[in-house]
Amino acid sequence: MTERVPVSMTVNGEDVQRFVEPRTTLGDFLRVEMELTGTHLGCEMGVCGACLVLLNGKPIHSCLMLAVAAEGETIETVEGLAESKAIADIQQAFHNRNALQCGFCTPGMLVTAHEILKSEHPLTREEIRDELSGNYCRCTGYEAIVDAIEQVFVARAAGREVEASGQFAETAA
Amino acid sequence: MNMALNNTDRPNSYIGRSVTRPNALRLLAGKGRYVTDIKLPRMLHAAFLRSPYAHAEIKSIDTTEAAALKGVHLVATGEDLAKLCKPWVGTLDHFRGMKSAPQLPLAVGKVVWAGQAMVAVVAETRAIAEDALGLIQVEMSELPPVVDIDQAREPDSTRIYPELGDNVAFKLTVESGDVKAAFAKADGELEETFFTGRHTAVTMEPRAIIADYNASEEALTVYHATQTPYQFQDLFSRLYGIRESRVRVIAPDIGGSFGMKLHVYNEDMSVVGLSMLCGRPVKYVADRLESFVSDIHARDHRIKTQVAYDASGAILGVKVDDVTAIGAFSTAPRTSVVEGNQVVRLIGAPYRFRDYRADLSVVFQNKVQTSQYRAVGHPIACLVTESLIDRVGQKLGIDPFEMRRRNIVTSDMYPYTSPAGYKFERLSHEACLDGLYKLMDYPRLREEQKALREKGIHRGIGIAMFVEITNPSPAFYGVGGARISSQDGAIVKITPAGEVQCLISVGEHGQGTETIIGQIVAEHLGVDRELVRVITGDTDVTPQGGANWACRGAGIGGETALQAAKKLKQNVLSVAAAILQSAPGELDLINGQIVNRSDRVERIPLSEVARISYYRSDTLPPGTNPQLTAAHHYSPQGYPFAFTNGVQACHVEVDAETGFTKILDLWVVEDCGRIINPMLVEEQIRGGVVQGLGAAFFEECRYNESGQLENGSLADYLVPMACEMPDIKIAHVETPTQDTELGAKGCGEAGTAASSAAAMNAVNDALAPLGASVSQIPMTPQRLLKALGRG
Ligand code: FES
Ligand code: FES
């Protein structure tokens, strides 16, 4: 076992200091040390996108980065994005359209969707599919995810919230 | 779209509606609770040393250095765990003559596939456990690996298990009618050999388990990413000698399963023993590289076929020789021969020819085991059948739709028994075919194809019909002696506030089980859906049942919930009648209110009935005994399986220079009986279709001659990505089963069953003018170029 070293960063708006083994990835740090288990690990080699988080506002693979390399940086995970309501309309659209089944890829999908939706002009379905190609989903077949992102583009362009669909739909947490 | 037959204007009418999934909100907030997320007090972590060889003797194992590493609690070998755990054998009686060697948690004496677990280390952290693996010394001596299906069956081949005699696990012949006579009178015959690539489930959450043995109570709690908690309660109990009532298996949120998470795995069995030895909870999560070499694989088949037909395009007879390789063992408890069995029994299933003979050989080899994975056998049978239909049609110049119309089992023929013995209550092939023809605007597509061909653009259209086995009765496994339940149980109760909880044995893995059960209970009880909470996946809490396999959640679980809700409603009405001095038959429960059956005038809220029953039973008339909890178990009766059916079409463009295929469109018309939630059915179909397209174009576990998996990582093993997949258009036909009041059948595997076949037919349609064709999946660019004579 190697000596633990101090690391500090801002996670979901909170300043945190911990001692970690230098080999600990940011993904493991968030999941194990911070107990933020919304960030998922699907491949641990930068392929599947389940582990995406925001580093200073930009999506990165938390499985590829060491926790110590995030020293002094600002990290946002799906939990933080959900609590700050930054992705409330995306969550609602995913819920309406059932753009998740098992939900394991979902945190990464939400992070990518959040990034895609920063585009100044609405993307076409084909463009959305291209942008999603670093996120693997084994359950949905992707179409519902594309639909949900499209729905948010339309709502944002019209300056609307995404409404809960159908008379029985619940609102996103 | 052929919508549900309910009166959807009635209050609490939920069946047939696309309602959203309440439990998805948690997952969308990053608050799912998967086994990978769970941390118990004093929990330790396991890692496994795996064999680098496909076939080798273990001469000696030295664990001294590993055991001495700081933070390591235990190093266990195969011998250590064999003292605690009984061996298991993956055979069942109804597969006569099948054989397989006994298995133990860890290898003892020899290893039979590259990746087989040999030694376990338990440590404070997973990282330390992995460090310790590097300190274990194993002396091994390599044996010749058996990798090829023909070589495996040769008389002088190396025997993987000499005590079994040979490398053949099982042989079966299915014969019906007179296939010889059919070929003798045929106007034409053709033959083709098909290959389907070994592939694997790749759930995004790998396998995960935490075992927590409590010696003082002799009790075991297991948090297990599994589809079948009750099956594992039985297995852990019997193999480790722990009383069944003290084994609790909890299946929390599960990150994908697809049939892969219901088999006995060596690591999972080991972790139970490791917890017993350490006296502390032990967790194991497979990493992705381990998943590739230890999760079950599937679909490794070579199918030689011959088909006889007459000049009108009628199929007269089919001969099949299917050889499938299953790895070094048959997987327990369902066996690895089910897939082959279903291939030979499902070939030709939508069509009416009667003369059929199929021979199946199931062969051992030094690779990881294969077993049931989504749509077990269906995609292979469908690929073979649908390709043969197209090939005959092509020979005779008959259009694919016309070929199918001439050969299908028509609506006047039900009930119908297939040549292989499957009984169909009622299928809707004609309606599905007609529906597809319109949905895809077939004539327009053909015109477009013709026009583009003149410009050198090669598009292809392929269609594939399917039948799918759902709602299995004990005929599937129970009759073979498997302790796998075909029934399900539900407990529905009214809480004191007048809300509802339903505990049910079918589980939730993202397909929406909890949602549809909530819809059914709310509708049949007569309450708002928001008041119904559905609880699944805990053997200490939820009633005994089969849980999730072979598409049974909606059909069997749904019927169980329906009957439990009806029973509870009667109980509620009889208490209400006592309170109101009325008769149960004069009352009804609508939207949480007890009303007069005649004029629907509200009499008393359900919450008031509950309050009085639970807190003021003293005010009830003497002898009133409120039963605001009802339990019900339901097992399929009538037909042994509820078959579903449908048809898919795929539209592709093949680049003849590069061999790349672009999937342009995909259409599905399916009939899963009564639809409870159209949105969820369609999403099951879409997800299933995409898995089938993965098999058609990308997914293959590639082994070399020494039995090493060469592409066992997510960077090398290709799964479908968003940019490669088409939008999928779906329409429904509803033929409810008459065996249940609900009328629902399964829909989780239908997408996968036929999409590979539709894709292959589409590619071959595109290649036809170039004089090329393929009969192997995945249809990689290299294989297409080879078919085009350019590889
Ligand atoms: S876990 Fe990071 S990309 Fe898969
Ligand atoms: S929802 Fe299961 S992997 Fe995407």
pLDDT in tens, B482-539: 999 999 999 999 999 999 999 999 999 999 999 999 999 999 999 999 999 999 999 9
The mean pLDDT value of chain B amounts to: 97
Q: Where are the beta strands (DSSP E) in B271-354?
A: 282-285, 297-298, 301-309, 315-325
Which pLDDT band holds residue A170 (cuts at 50, 70, 90)? very low
- Given this model, what pLDDT does residue A165 score? 78
| 3-state DSSP assignment of residue B242 | coil
Residue linked to tokens 């309309």: A89
- Given this model, what pLDDT does residue A171 score? 34
How far is Cα of residue B341 from the mean position of the Cα atoms in its chain?
16
Q: Do A42 and B205 touch (CB under 8 A)?
A: yes
Q: Which of B634, B657, B672 is the last residue of a domain?
A: B634
Q: What is the residue range of B583's domain?
A: 3-32+487-634
Which pLDDT band holds residue B3 (cuts at 50, 70, 90)? very low
Q: Do A139 and B687 touch (CB under 8 A)?
A: yes
Q: Rounded mean pLDDT of B688-704?
A: 98
Q: Which atom number of ligand 1 is nearest to the Cα of residue A61?
A: 2
Q: How far is the CA of B732 from the centre of ligand 2 (A)?
A: 24
In a domain? residue B322: no
Q: Does residue B553 share a domain with residue B409? A: no
Distance CA B744, CA B674 (A): 4
**Residue in B28, B204, B723 closest to A104 by CB:** B204
Residue-wise pLDDT tens digits, B564-579:
999 999 999 999 999 9
Q: Is B216 exposed, middle or buried (0-12, 13-18, 19+ CB in 10 A)?
A: exposed
Q: Does residue B648 share a domain with residue B614? A: no
- Given this model, what pLDDT does residue B8 score? 54
In a domain? residue B338: no
Q: Does residue B601 share a domain with residue B505? A: yes
Distance CA B680, CA B23 (A): 13
Residue-wise pLDDT tens digits, B223-261:
999 999 999 999 999 999 999 999 999 999 999 999 999
- Residue B2 above 50 pLDDT? no
- Given this model, what pLDDT does residue B10 score? 77
User: Which residue's alpha carbon is at the smallest distance from atom 3 of ligand 2?
Assistant: A137
In chain B, what percentage of residues exceed pLDDT 70? 99
B511 touches chain A (CB under 8 A): yes
Q: Is A123 exposed, middle or buried (0-12, 13-18, 19+ CB in 10 A)?
A: middle
CATH of the domain at B127: 3.90.1170.50
Look up residue B646 and give its amino acid: G
Q: Does residue B136 share a domain with residue B226? A: yes
Output DSSP code: residue A133.
G
In a domain? residue B195: no
Q: Which of B634, B657, B683 is the last residue of a domain?
A: B634
Q: Do A133 and B512 touch (CB under 8 A)?
A: no
Find out whether B35 and B45 touch, Cβ atoms under 8 Å.
no
Q: Do B30 and A168 touch (CB under 8 A)?
A: no
CATH of the domain at B606: 3.30.365.10
B740 touches chain A (CB under 8 A): no
Residue-wise pLDDT tens digits, A19-72:
999 999 999 999 999 999 999 999 999 999 999 999 999 999 999 999 999 999
Lowest mean pLDDT among B141-150, B182-191, B470-479: B470-479
Closest residue, chain B, to A108 (C-alpha)? B30
Closest residue, chain A, to B681 (C-alpha)? A98
pTM for this one?
0.97
Q: Do B205 and A40 touch (CB under 8 A)?
A: yes
Q: Does residue B71 share a domain with residue B7? A: no
* Structural domains of chain A in order of their starting residue, each with its CATH number: 5-81 (3.10.20.30), 87-164 (1.10.150.120)
Find out whether B628 and B527 touch, Cβ atoms under 8 Å.
no
In a domain? residue B340: no
In a domain? residue B365: no
Which pLDDT band holds residue A168 (cuts at 50, 70, 90)? very low
Q: Where are the beta strands (DSSP E) in A120-168?
A: none
Which pLDDT band holds residue A85 (cuts at 50, 70, 90)? very high
Which residue, among B665, B688, B680, B663, has the nearest Cα to B732 in the 3D structure? B680
**Residue in B21, B258, B509 closest to A98 by CB:** B21
Q: Does residue B117 share a domain with residue B66? A: yes
Find out whether A88 and A78 touch, Cβ atoms under 8 Å.
no
In a domain? residue B264: yes
- Residue B324 above 80 pLDDT? yes
- Given this model, what pLDDT does residue A166 score? 56
Residue-wise pLDDT tens digits, B13-71:
999 999 999 999 999 999 999 999 999 999 999 999 999 999 999 999 999 999 999 99
Residue-wise pLDDT tens digits, B87-99:
999 999 999 999 9
Q: Does residue B519 share a domain with residue B461? A: no
Q: Does residue B781 share a domain with residue B690? A: yes
- Residue B6 above 90 pLDDT? no
Residue-wise pLDDT tens digits, A109-118:
999 999 999 9
In a domain? residue B213: yes
Q: Does residue B707 share a domain with residue B576? A: no
Q: Does residue B113 share a domain with residue B26? A: no
Distance CA B645, CA B414 (A): 14
Domains in chain B, number: 3
In a domain? residue B421: yes
Which residue, among B564, B568, B567, B502, has the nearest Cα to B537 in the 3D structure? B502
- Given this model, what pLDDT does residue B678 score? 97
Q: In what order do the strands lie in the sheet with A74-76?
A: A14-20, A5-11, A74-76, A52-55, A58-61
Tell me the CA distances in angstroms from B447 to B353, B513, B650, B752, one per residue in order. 32, 43, 16, 29
The residues, ordered by sequence, that sit 6+ positions from B298 with a Cβ below 8 Å of its Cβ are B198, B199, B200, B201, B339, B370, B371, B372, B373, B376
DSSP H stretches of helix in B476-615: 513-525, 558-580, 606-615
Test the B interface: residue of A87, A98, A162 with most B CBs within 10 Å: A98
Residue-wise pLDDT tens digits, B647-668:
999 999 999 999 999 999 999 9
Q: Which of B242, B268, B294 is the last residue of a domain?
A: B294
B678 touches chain A (CB under 8 A): no
Residue list, ligand 2 pocket, CB within 6 Å: A 100-106, 137-140; B 204, 256, 510
Size of interface A-B (CB pairs under 8 A): 205
SS (H, E, C) B646-710: EEEEEEEEECCCCCCEEEEEEEEEEECECCCCHHHHHHHHHHHHHHHHHHHHCCCCCECCCCCEC
Q: Does residue B400 share a domain with residue B433? A: yes
Distance CA B672, CA A110 (A): 32
| Nearest chain A CA: its distance from B252 CA (Å) | 11
Q: Does residue B105 share a domain with residue B7? A: no
- Given this model, what pLDDT does residue B378 score? 98
Residue-wise pLDDT tens digits, A120-159:
999 999 999 999 999 999 999 999 999 999 999 999 999 9
Find out whether B55 and B146 touch, Cβ atoms under 8 Å.
yes
